[in-house]
Every structure is written in C-alpha cells, then in structure tokens.
Chains A and B, each alone.
Chain A
C-alpha cells in the first residue's frame, strides 16, 4: 500500500477520534451546565456567550439571534466574565443557553445554533413554565 493511502487512513482515524472526543466533551459539558442556575425572569431568555475574537458569533450567531424578535438575550463576553463562562462549561464560542423563567438552564448549545433550533428550545422553555403553572 502506498504511503498516501496509509496517511489517508491515519488522518481518517484522527478525524473520527476527534469527532468522538468532541461529542463526548460536549455531552459532558452540557450535562454539567444544565445544573447551573441564573437569575429568574418573567419569560425564558438566552444567555449568549461570545468574545471579540469570535467570527462565527458575528457572521452567523448574531443574525440568528436577531431573528428571534422580542426574546431577552443576555450577551456575555466569555473572556471578561470568565467565572460565568466557566460555570456553564463554555469551551467554544458561540455558546447559547436557553434559560427557563425560573432561572434554570434548559438547553445548552456549544457552537452555532440556528434561529429555528433556538425557537424550538424557547417554545419548550415556555411550555415547561406552562406545565409547572398548571401543576
């Protein structure tokens, strides 16, 4: 077998291992972050972790957040507010956290989250409130 094919196999294994590592890391961070609590609010809101060096935040995430309309978005500089970022296990930018009105984190998105995805998560947060009020 030529060195090129061996190299292709090695690179493929590294990429697969990295993807698997990323999945495990995101899942662990998400589980840990979901225990976190923020300030209560009348409506669900979004904690948006960003930073000046984050290009995807400006080119993709912010236009997606702008599509959400009247939703409260708390923009957090992950470098400046390091403790808050650490408590939500922010290891990549952007990170968005959908917070329930009781201040509990319901969904954590590491990396870009589309407007559609966030709308779905916000709807879930609203229905969670509705369910708790009914109960």
Chain B
C-alpha cells in the first residue's frame, strides 16, 4: 500500500541544506587557517544523523521552526510530499560525513573531499531541487529493498 502524503515545509529542508553547505565550507576554508575548525565535520555528521532519527533534534530545521520562520526571515513553503526520501537523503549525508570524519586523521585529503562532495550535493538540492539521496531512495524502492 502506498504511503499517504503529508505536508512538508520545503523551507525547512532548504535551511537544512544551506546549513550543511555553510558548515562544510566554514570547516573547509577555516581549516586552512585554524585546523580545529575541521571538527565541525564530525559535529555536522552527528547533527544530521540525530536529526534523521529524532526530528526534534534536527538543529537546522529547529533553527528554522523556532527562529527564522517566527521572525519572518524565511517564508514557509508547504508542499504535499513524503518526508521519508528527504530523511533518507539527510541520513545518507550523515553517514558520508561519518566516513569523512573517520578519514580526516589518517587520510585528510579523502576526508575533506568526501565532506566537500556532501556539501556539493546539498548545494545542488538547494539550488536546483535535485536530491540524489531521494533518487537512491527511489532506486531502492524500485528494487523492493525499501517501501518507496
């Protein structure tokens, strides 16, 4: 049976994607001058994974719902949608950042490159609406591996 559609505020998703891009860029560029800033990458991994399983703990989304939206800084954009593919994409981003974090000490270039790729994909989603994680979710659903 197909899952029912619900209302998803796409502005919250956009703020989340913007948060990922900004955090990775701060870690990446800031790391050139102040190495401890690279710790933002494992921190972001925790934020994304935590937000995937406990939506109330999703830092960037909460920033939107508690600050940006009430203050009128970002306007809401409710869309009839399913939250699962977006959560899956966020979780996937979190997993990639965990791997990137694990690589930061033994193989810094690979760790940084992986984190940068997560930021690129978040930017593509933010700017063009193309969600690679959602496409992977669709492919898994098509193969019957998850209920898409």
Contacts and interface: CB of A to CB of B under 8 A. Distances in A.
Contact of A51 (B10, B109, B148): B148
B22 interface: no
Contact of A8 (B3, B10, B116): B116
A123 interface: no
A14 B117 contact: yes
Nearest to B146: A53
Contacts of B108: 3, 7
Given A15-B117, A54-B138, A7 B112 contact: yes
Nearest to A91: B139
B82 interface: yes
Interface in B29-80: 29, 31-32, 79-80
B85 A3 contact: no
A50 to B, nearest CB: 10
Interface in B94-134: 108-113, 116-117, 120, 129-131, 134
A72 B98 CA distance: 47
A2 B85 CA distance: 36
B104 to A, nearest CB: 9
A55 B81 contact: yes
B109 A3 contact: yes
Interface of A: 2-4, 6-8, 10-11, 14-15, 51-56, 58-60, 77-80, 82, 85, 91-93, 111-112
20 contacts: A3-B109, A4-B29, A7-B108, A11-B113, A14-B117, A52-B2, A53-B84, A53-B85, A53-B148, A55-B8, A55-B10, A55-B79, A55-B129, A55-B134, A59-B79, A79-B138, A80-B2, A91-B139, A93-B138, A112-B129
